[in-house]
Structure 1
């Protein structure tokens, strides 16, 4: 088996609400809308994030993304109105935990 690409997915109840939140999170509009109910952000050539509208499953997703500068990210997210984002110390790294409007967990990790 050879896996060359990964798309993490958050399942949401309202795509319009989620789109606005994830646009503020990533600082840009989605890179693709491959089908009705699906938004994609391509964060590199080999990984990205999908936001999928499926109300019955909404809020049960989580993803972990590495970030090189958690403090700068936290400041940007706070300014964007995402949250009063404050990184915290974990066992082996620092983390920034966020929840989207449906309760899906997005965790950024970094030094």
Structure 2
């Protein structure tokens, strides 16, 4: 079965969120849907989007697993964002969590080297 992922992140202020997610993800959106919604394709058939939905903002919790977690975290730091939380689980998997201005959690996870 083919797998597509389209994960939504509700935000209060679309313009502010757009700038923040560009810094987090390292690029402008892949495409703009409307004046209040933008999409980033992270990999083929795997996307995240922000949408201005103030009544739902602050409740997203997504984790993106990457091959080189340290490199991603370094790149994000170079763009001026610091993690809100760092975790290492008993199996060695690490997770670095960022929180957008609304409190939505976007984590990056990686297997131990």
For normalisation by structure 1, the TM-score amounts to 0.89
Give the 3 Å change call, closer, same or farther, for CA 11–84 of structure 1 in structure 2: closer
Q: Which runs of 5+ in 2 are unaligned?
A: none
Mapped partners of 2:87, 2:72: distance in 1? 13
Contact in 1 for aligned 2:83/2:98 (Cα 8 Å): no
Contact in 1 for aligned 2:83/2:99 (Cα 8 Å): no
Moved over 4 A (4+): 84-87
For normalisation by structure 2, the TM-score amounts to 0.88
Q: Which moved more, 1:79-88 or 1:45-54?
A: 79-88
Residue 50 of structure 2: SS of its match in structure 1? strand
Q: Which runs of 5+ in 1 are unaligned?
A: none
Residue 59 of structure 1: SS of its match in structure 2? coil
Tell me the equivalent position of 1:55.
54
Taking only aligned residues, the RMSD between alpha carbons, in angstroms, comes to 1.7
Mapped partners of 1:59, 1:85: distance in 2? 14
Contact in 2 for aligned 1:74/1:86 (Cα 8 Å): no
- Residue 54 of structure 1 and its aligned partner are, at CA, apart by 0.6
Mapped partners of 2:44, 2:27: distance in 1? 17
Tell me the equivalent position of 1:97.
97
Q: Which moved more, 1:36-45 or 1:76-85?
A: 76-85
Contact in 2 for aligned 1:37/1:53 (Cα 8 Å): yes
- Count of residues in Structure 1 that have an aligned counterpart in Structure 2: 110
- Residue 84 of structure 1 and its aligned partner are, at CA, apart by 5.1
Tell me the equivalent position of 1:4.
3
